[in-house]
Structure 1
Amino acid sequence: MVLIDVKAEDVRSAQAGDRNALEAVLSGTQHQVHALARRILVNPDDASEATQEILILVLTKLSTFKGEAAFSTWVYRVAVRYLLNTRKIRDRDLGLTFDMFAADLESGLVADPPKAPDDALLLNELRISCTMAMLLCLKMESRLAYVLGDIFELDHGEASQILELTPATYRKRLSRARSEVEAFTSHHCGIVSTSAKCACPRRLPAAMEAGRVQRGNYPNSANAKEGYADIRAQVGAVIEDLKTFKLHRSVPHHECPEAIRVALTEILSPPA
């Protein structure tokens, strides 16, 4: 996982208006902000839009950073406030639940699915897409706690500061979210549980028919270093309590699109 890595002197220089320092702040925060937006919102376009708006907030509110917490904590807090409070983010919430998601996964399953030359790519895209979409079943507050704690593996103290919660409240929220995700995967995910009805090969024909997975288009798995068979073997090899953790940690890191960096660099450029 790429970490927010910005030098303290660059932050101070950026606060004083130094353009090169502002670009260094942008460079050091863009990928992790996008990674958070992608995990929380899942949809690539929504995540890109949110990333750009969060980064603009980071740059325009930079003068308010007083060093009372780590700079990374402050950046994440700006991002979290945006994700929690922006109306268009709330309006896009589909109200998905784990029961609804389970019913969708188990519809149209094929007992003996046909094989195609690109099955390996399609199965990996489906595996990653489903793993990411699963978290949409969590309420936003719980989703943020789960992503920061179990996927980004932030220290609980930092995560509680980011979410502006007491450490005890954060631990309870993370524990509840973790229990919900683990319960779902243990009953409905064929990678985690061999007794689950849904398995990627059986689900693939219905997913392709619905347009959720398309040949030649792999937006979620393009950067994956490991394939479907690799992850299935790795998840199967760990002890029961770690299977869900391994599944979610296997989603590849999605770097910030270059177009966002270019657009923000142009905003930083002084008028001719």
Structure 2
Amino acid sequence: MSDARDALGRSGGVGPTELLDEERELVARAVAGDKGALEDVVRRVQDPLYRLALRMTWRPADAEDAAQEILIRVVTGLATWRAEARLLTWAYRIGVNHLLNLKRRTPQETAGLSLDALGEGLLEGLADTGFAGPDAELLAREVRLTCTQAMLQCLERGERVAYVLGEVFELPSREAAWVLDISPAAYRKRLERTRTRLRTFMDATCGLANPAAPCRCARRVAPAVASGRVDPRRPALATHPVSPGGRDLARASAQMGRLHDAATVLRSHPDYAAPRARSEAVLGLLGSGRFPLLADGGSA
């Protein structure tokens, strides 16, 4: 289930109008100083915002930093929310603006890595046989998760976020266009261009998207460990905590196994949870008086 659909599901299955009315009441209480309401707002948006940051920044540590900054901007700007979109959609817009303008670059961005170069590296580094050592299945999944993250990093940021919103989070095009502040037609054109690039790359390379393609995760484990891209003692993504009730690694992998296409492979990450210490730190900062009162309309 996508993050956007998660937000609706947690509301008890109500329709968009009822959800907005409920969110208006919640935000009004948070802005008025209701600590419990503010904590509820944070709980609703923290994990989806972290997952957005993770897909854009690649590494959990960088995603934690970015998501914390975005969360501060969201909660200090609550008084500016006018319910023109759902609360999570509005939070995505704040997050996207922050992530598109990050000065810190991912390793792939710094190196100028392209999909063509990534594909060549994957095929040149294939082992003759699948990894058979300890935790073989876990490490093969870590390779898959790391590799799909690397694919996204080969895209220009505007293409990357368009793909993540539309294909990974499955936002409707009108909603995703609002997040990006572009027309729905422009968004659909950008998404289709990016979708075609990734589909072409994966059909030619990835055995998960196309069984006839040469690359296999199990054959990438040994090279990935040798190069340091995967730490067999501490897999960063395969053992990452997930949201309560969210998809774990096994469920995400099972969903991917039923379909063979690029979008399903890139979508099939677990529902990663944001580190709770970060959100608690944000709430602590808000209570410290270091930020303007919510009722004064913090800047988003």
Is the TM-score greater than 0.5? yes
Q: Is the 8 A contact 1:15 1:62 kept in 2?
A: yes
1:102 paired with 2:126, answer no
Letter in 1 for 2:86: A
Matched-pair contact (CA < 8 Å) for 1:38–1:254: no
Within 2, Cα distance between the matches of 1:142 and 1:196?
A: 24
- Note the C-alpha offset of 1:265: 2.2
Any idea what the Cα deviations from partners look like across 1:8-32, whole Å, max 9, x if unmatched?
2111112223322221111111011
Deviations 1:18-58 (A, max 9, x none): 32222111111101100111111111111000000000000
Counterpart residue number, 1:24: 40
AA in 1 matched with 2:263: F
Residue by residue over 1:95-135, the C-alpha shift from the partner in whole angstroms, topping out at 9 and shown as x without a partner, is 32101211221232221345113111111111111112211
Counterpart of 2:170 in structure 1: which amino acid? E
**How far apart are residue 73 of structure 1 and its match?**
2.2
1:181 is aligned to 2:206: no
For residues 160-179 of structure 1, the aligned pairs below 5 Å read 160-179=177-196
Name the CA distance, whole Å, in 1 between partners of 2:256 and 2:215: 14
- Measure, in 1, the Cα distance between the counterparts of 2:69 and 2:184: 29
Task: Specify the alignment match of 2:258 in structure 1.
Answer: 234
Q: In 2, distance between residues paired with 1:111 and 1:162? A: 45
TM-score, length basis structure 2: 0.81
Aligned partners of 1:186 and 1:192 also within 8 Å: yes
Question: Given that residues 54 and 79 in structure 1 are in contact (C-alpha distance below 8 angstroms), is that contact kept between their aligned partners in structure 2?
Answer: yes
**Match of residue 225 from structure 1:** 250
Q: What is the aligned-residue RMSD (CA, Å)? A: 2.2
**Equivalent residues of 2:53, 2:67 under 8 A apart:** yes
What is the deviation of 1:244?
Answer: 1.2
- Secondary structure at the aligned position of 1:45 is classed as helix
Change in Cα spacing, 1:89 to 1:113, as seen in structure 2 (3 Å) is closer
User: Unaligned regions of 5+ residues in structure 1, if any?
Assistant: 237-242
Deviation at 1:146, TM superposition (A): 0.5
Question: Is 1:56 matched up with 2:72?
Answer: yes
1:168-189 deviation line (CA, Å, top 9, x unaligned): 0000000001001101100011
C-alpha distance in structure 1 between counterparts of 2:237 and 2:106, whole Å: 23
Match in the other structure for 2:50: 34
Is 1:138 matched with 2:127? no
- Which has the higher mean CA deviation after the structures are superposed, 24-33 or 95-104? 95-104
Residue aligned with 2:230, SS: coil
What residue number does 1:239 align with? none
Query: Structure 1: which amino acid aligns with 2:104?
Result: K
Say which SS state the counterpart of residue 192 (structure 1) adopts: coil
Match of 1:244 in 2: 262
Asked whether the equivalents of residues 131 and 219 of structure 2 are also in contact (C-alpha less than 8 Å), the reply is no
TM-score (norm 1): 0.89
- In 1, the alpha carbon distance for the partners of 2:83 and 2:97 equals 18
Determine which of 6, 9, 13 is the counterpart of 2:25: 9
Q: 1:120 aligns with which of 137, 149, 153?
A: 137
1:240 corresponding residue in structure 2:
none
Could you tell me which residue of structure 2 aligns to residue 195 of structure 1? 212
Q: Which runs of 5+ in 2 are unaligned?
A: 11-21, 240-247, 290-300
Q: Secondary structure at the match of 1:111?
A: coil
Letter in 2 for 1:144: V
Q: Is the 8 Å Cα contact of residues 231 and 247 (structure 1) preserved in structure 2?
A: no
Distance 1:234 1:12, change over 3 A: same
The one-letter code sitting in structure 1 at the alignment partner of 2:173 is H
How far 1:72 moved relative to its partner? 2.2
Q: How many residues align?
A: 264
Q: Contact conserved, 1:120 with 1:227, CA < 8 A, in 2? A: no
Aligned to 2:283: 265
**Aligned mates of 2:107, 2:147 — CA distance in 1:** 22
Tell me the percent identity: 36
